Chains A and B, each alone.
Chain A
C-alpha cells in the first residue's frame, strides 16, 4: 500500500512547454484533489474529482486541465507553462468523512 504517489518529484520547464503531473492512489479513494502551495500562502485548490470520469474546478483552475479516466489516477496538465505556475503541487485523496491523504509533492519551476 503505497498511499498517494506523485510523479515527477521535480521538474524544470521553459515557458510555453507542456507537461503532465501524475497522481496515483491505491486506497480505492473516490475523491482526489490537486493543490498548489506558494510561499506565504496556504494550499489552494486547483481542480478536484469526486469520482472516476468527473472533474471540477477549484479556487485557481486557470492554466490547468485535469483528467480522471481511472479511479486511481488523477492527472494535472499544464498546456503552456508560465512562470506564475512555479510552485509546489500536492495531490490528495480520500473517501467521504475520512482525512485526505497527501502525496509528497512535486516541485515545478518554470523559467
Chain B
C-alpha cells in the first residue's frame, strides 16, 4: 500500500461548483500534512497546511481525520484558475515529505 494515496481524477466541475478531494495516509504517527497545487512546468506551491482543528483560507478548507487517517480539501465556488493538480503531502518524522500522486481538477466554464 502506498504511504499517501489520492484519487488521480480528473475531477471535471463547472465554475462555481464545490469540489472535495480526500487523501489517505498509512503512517499513523504522522503529524503534519499539506496540500500543494502544481502544474507540470511550475514548482509546487504550498496551498495550505492541515491541522487537527482544520484550516480554512478563503474558498479552501482542509480537514484532518486521524481516526480514519485521511485529510480532505474542499474548494468552494470553483474558478477556472483553480484547474491544477493538487498534491497531498505527509511530513513524516524528521521532516521528510511523502507525496501523493496528485488529483487533477479541471474547472470548466
Residue numbers of A with Cβ under 8 A of B are: 31, 33, 35, 37-39, 42-45, 50, 58-59, 88, 90, 94-102, 104-105, 107
Contact = CB atoms under 8 A, between A and B. Distances in A.
Contacts of A37: 95, 97
Contacts of B41: 31, 50, 96
B57 interface: no
A97 B39 contact: yes
B101 interface: yes
Contacts of B44: 42-43, 100
Interface string B39-64: 11101111000000000000000000
A95 B101 contact: no
Interface residues of B, number: 21
A105 B42 CA distance: 19
Nearest to A103: B99
Contacts of A35: 43
- Sort A-B residue pairs by CB-CB distance and give the 4 closest, nearest first: A99-B102, A99-B85, A94-B40, A102-B99
Contact of A99 (B95, B98, B104): B104
Contacts of B43: 33, 35, 43-45, 58-59
B22 interface: no
Nearest to A30: B40
